[in-house]
Amino acid sequence: MKLFLAEDDAVLADALLTSLKRLGFEIEHAGNGLQAQQRLLAAHFDAVILDIGLPGQSGLAVLRQVRPHKPALPILILTALDGLEDRVAGLDAGADDYLAKPFEFVELEARLRALLRRSKAAYTPRGEARFGRLRLDRAGQRAWAGDTPLDLSARELAVLDVLLSHADRVVTKEQIAAELSGDELGANAIEVYVHRLRKKIEPAGVGVRAVRGLGYLLEARSE
């Protein structure tokens, strides 16, 4: 999974980068608010660790700019300010969780795991993605609804992989096309593959909802 760390304290940032990489995360780092905002708006990340006291632009300002564009992106804010008003300000700006400095890494890890669980984009070390009863083995190029194998073409598996990577978030047709590793598919072709995929994954209790004017949203269906 890909994380983004925005932290201007070089010593703390280096320690967090080292520890998180040991857990198997891919991490991108920025030391100022403007750079963090630009990257968060331009690229996909599975979760964000955002320091409030960033130079150039505060973490709260970054959060307020990014949240409307990435409503489901898990964001954990870090700050040396631990007053009630500071916590409320961070949460009101759109943070999912709040951790005051100084902190123990084990607590950060636990809170990060909780955010990723709630995002419903869970991955195993072997590259397996799950969403509800839907399961995708990336290495083996196979998918299941519970224990039942799904008959998916290579293109359908590729589209499913993109949707799972952005579970509970809207994915545009352009984004799907860009992430299909060299497949040059037009909007109409993507619509066809999503239509086929939608029918095939229904037994897993998972649907693909078309969000008018935006793209597609992978979501759990109520029983």
The predicted-structure confidence for 166-184, as pLDDT tens digits, reads as follows: 876 788 888 887 777 444 5
Instruction: Give the pLDDT score at 29.
Output: 97
> For residue 103, what is the enclosing H or E element?
none
Pair 55, 109 in one domain:
yes
Name which residue leads in pLDDT, 159 or 80. 159
Total domains, the chain: 2
pLDDT at 55 over 60: yes
Pair 30, 77 in one domain:
yes
Instruction: Give the pLDDT score at 84.
Output: 67
- 89, 104, 119 - which closes a domain: 119
Output the average pLDDT for the chain: 84
Pair 128, 146 in one domain:
yes
Residue type, 56: G
Q: Which of 88, 110, 101 is nearest to 13 (CA)?
A: 101
pLDDT at 16 over 90: yes
Pair 13, 100 in one domain:
yes
Pair 13, 99 in one domain:
yes
Residue 100 belongs to a domain with what CATH number? 3.40.50.2300
Q: How far apart are CA 187 and CA 16, in angstroms?
A: 40
pLDDT at 82 over 70: no
Pair 161, 196 in one domain:
yes
Q: For residue 98, how far is the Cα from the chain centroid? A: 18
Q: In this structure, what are the phi and psi dihedrals at residue 144, rounded to the nearest 5 degrees?
A: -135, 150
Give residue-wise pLDDT tens across range 98-125. Answer: 888 888 999 999 888 878 776 654 434 3
- 119, 134, 162 - which closes a domain: 119
Provide the H-helix boundaries in 43-167.
59-66, 84-92, 105-118, 154-165
Residue range(s) defining the domain that contains residue 155: 124-220
Residue 176 belongs to a domain with what CATH number? 1.10.10.10
Name which residue leads in pLDDT, 189 or 32. 32
Arithmetic mean of pLDDT, 45-67: 92
